[in-house]
Chain A
Amino acid sequence: MAKSEKQAYDEFIKGIWRENPVFVQVLGMCPMLAVTNSAINGVAMGLATCFVLVGSSFLVSLLKNLIPKQVRISCFIIIIATFVTVVDYSLLALVPAIHKELGAFIPLIVAKCLILGRQEAFASRNTIRMALIDALGMAAGFLIALVSLGAIREILGEGKLFGVPLFGDNFEPWVIMILPPGGFITLGFMLLFFNWFEEKKKRLDERAAAIEGSDI
């Protein structure tokens, strides 16, 4: 039992850090760069994606023995599209203001390679429980990435975080950060930071291994 708990925990954590969908796999970027010009939009998009990913992972995993192999991709896409339609209409009913800002990018969740990739690579081959854990981990990693990207762009571009002003009146906002180029550049620098971190870790590991080797 303890072992399977550990395994489940590993599956969850892997989505957040080691295989983070955005920073490590660089998937699902298309709709995410466009909507992350403020932190709150990032949260909304992240939660919408989370719902779609978890819902479709559950259904795919449940139906994995019923879906014929040859047409599995089409089946996955139709399942995903159904969940996206649900999200689209629920957001329109619950939070019309945010729905208006995200606009056409909610239907585009369907085209995210991230979601289809998880169905194909994981949910269609694992038990429902593992599929749910994997989907939650991936969605959490995606949410963290979206919110941090949105927060950076909002802080630099408007001097606010979640609509609360952070700096005094003397702050001159970097308007470029909330415009499209800011999205590319922010994500570029975040990836750069991730690479730098990984490289540093690798170098430390190598040094530790070398020291151990010399002891023996």
Chain B
Amino acid sequence: MGDLGWIFISTLLINNFVLAYFLGLCPFLGVSSKLDTSFRLGLATTFVMVVTALCAWILNTYVLIYAPYLRLISFIVVIACVVQLIEMAIKKLSPALFRALGIFLPLITTNCAILGLAIFATNRGYGLWQGLVYALGAGAGFTLAIVLMAGLRDETEMSDVPTMVKGIAFNLIVSGILSMAFMGFAGLFSAS
């Protein structure tokens, strides 16, 4: 149990997918203009990540031991298909949930954070439960980062910055400072 908890906390804070590995930067910078939207995007991403971890584990255990060079191609194709299927299922079963997550699901599939999650989990040799917890931590970390970023952008929207800094350059520098703050968590567990 301690091992699983450790995996969760470390992917949530210390090795945050966005702020330490630079994964999922496109939605992080693109969608983070509204607090509400970014929270829902975070939830949808977490959901897809958990599904991905499950698919990756199944593929790794049953298929890819015979053909490791197909890893990348099969990850992409299988994950994209499964997410499409789940999207259709949700649309049918729970229209409310579909409205909350729906539009983001197909977009998220091509997000590098999803593929990164599958590859990192494989490289670290995680088992099923470890992989699922890893996915939960990564998703929660993504949600945390994007919600924080949306809040910061909300606060600075009215401030008077020079025109050449406005837009993406400003957002990048703000994320740099945010990432610096998250580096502080690196000392969290070093004592134990």
Contact = CB atoms under 8 A, between A and B. Distances in A.
Interface stretch (A38-46, A62-70, A151-159, A192-200): A192-200
Q: Taking chain A's interface residues, is the majority helix, strand, or loop, or is none over half, making it mixed? A: helix
A82 B70 CA distance: 9
B184 to A, nearest CB: 11
Given A30-B23, A108-B112, A85 B72 contact: yes
A188 B119 contact: no
The size class of the interface chain B forms with chain A is 35 or more
Is the contact region of chain B dominated by helix, strand, or loop, or is it mixed?
A: helix
A89 interface: yes
A30 B25 contact: yes
Contacts of B183: 179-181
B22 interface: yes
A98 interface: no
A183 B69 CA distance: 31
Given A82-B73, A183-B22, A110 B115 contact: yes
A113 interface: yes
B26 to A, nearest CB: 6
Contacts of B29: 26
Nearest to A73: B110
A192 B165 contact: yes
Contacts of B179: 180-181, 184
B111 A111 contact: yes
A32 B21 CA distance: 10
B77 interface: yes
A128 interface: no
A26 B72 contact: no
6 contacts: A30-B22, A85-B72, A85-B73, A104-B123, A183-B176, A188-B170
Interface of A: 26, 29-34, 74, 77-78, 81-82, 84-85, 88-89, 103-104, 107-108, 110-113, 116, 176, 179-185, 187-189, 191-192, 195-196, 199
Given A31-B112, A85-B71, A183-B176, 9 more contacts: A77-B76, A81-B73, A110-B76, A113-B26, A176-B180, A180-B21, A180-B179, A188-B169, A188-B172
